Structure 1
């Protein structure tokens, strides 16, 4: 199953997925060093500018950003209610304490999760799993057995939703789907697990029979070039992290996580 079906062409099209992965990791590692809202907000603004320069469709940008924002908001709410109690306490109930410290930490957490997850999601908006596998095998020189096994697993994940629907149809046709929702979902989930294990075992046997992983080295059908565009993308990620950290230090908000 393709992850890039219907995706509009962007300047990321044709960029080696390994460079996209490296850029996302650079941003993530740089932003987890400190818990402050200044560095996260600075990085988020620069990331949005970079994504616009790369011509990521606005519809795709806002759709995926809203999903990431929802996950970040849920994390922030947890920090708000159960985070560090410091400064003025605005509300307290049993284990829940909302204070100045928990509010500032919740805001910083929301921005940080958004700034880390957004490039990780959007940089791969038009990346095929096969392209990523080619990059991992040719650029990073990972073992072909691991790369091809991972690719096969990713492609099988796309079939789980279809299997879930078919299992539901079959159970209703046999009259075994009339119990409560929890019991029905548990039984169907177990059936899906058995089906997935069986399909995975069959695929592994077929790949072994075809000689996948039989030799330490192998050839690849498609080249995976790594050139100027890839280097430029990684450099842009380093610039984003450097500017974010410098801004945070200059404004006095830098809060190294190791010192907390």
Structure 2
């Protein structure tokens, strides 16, 4: 068993030092004519913002080693100690790839809070006669992060020769920005392609984003009362039992004894 754990630890160190292949290439051993990335490759790759594959592999191997050491001996067959740890290790390897990092959630919340004001500024710049790329550059210069990065990516793409429609479509399809900026990017891409004015559309979207943000804050405020029930119960229930229940039970016990 010690030898198994030593091999697992050595493998973990080797993976951490040498790294693993690009997860986008895993699953590329597919049949010609099919997608170059199989289901296993997509499952193993996980989210684009998840922990790297070597770190997840090290975590899975450590879980496997800890579980194997914690289980009691079941005869002379070591596989009964290694198999449960291996299953849990694979679960950790795959599960960590699909857990949303707190930084991603915080980044998305900041995008949503900044979106209404940013859209108002874009609509005002477009209404003043600025082109879409000029409006994006001017608004990016006065916007906080992460809105500055979103608009700067559009400005950077147009600066290297891409069309406005392609730059806004790229923003709308980006993994980081599509959830919040997707509708805006598609509208601005359509406007750049067809020449349709979108000032009023941006103002409507800003109003809807502001209303959606307010509704989300109200839901979060109402949920505070529900989520605080368990901590309050954990704090006050022992005191209630010690002060109100225990004396009665002891009194009855002393009376009948």
Q: Does TM, scored on the shorter chain, surpass 0.5? A: no
Higher helix share: 2
TM superposition score normalised by structure 2: 0.22
TM superposition score normalised by structure 1: 0.22
Which one has the largest radius of gyration?
Answer: 2
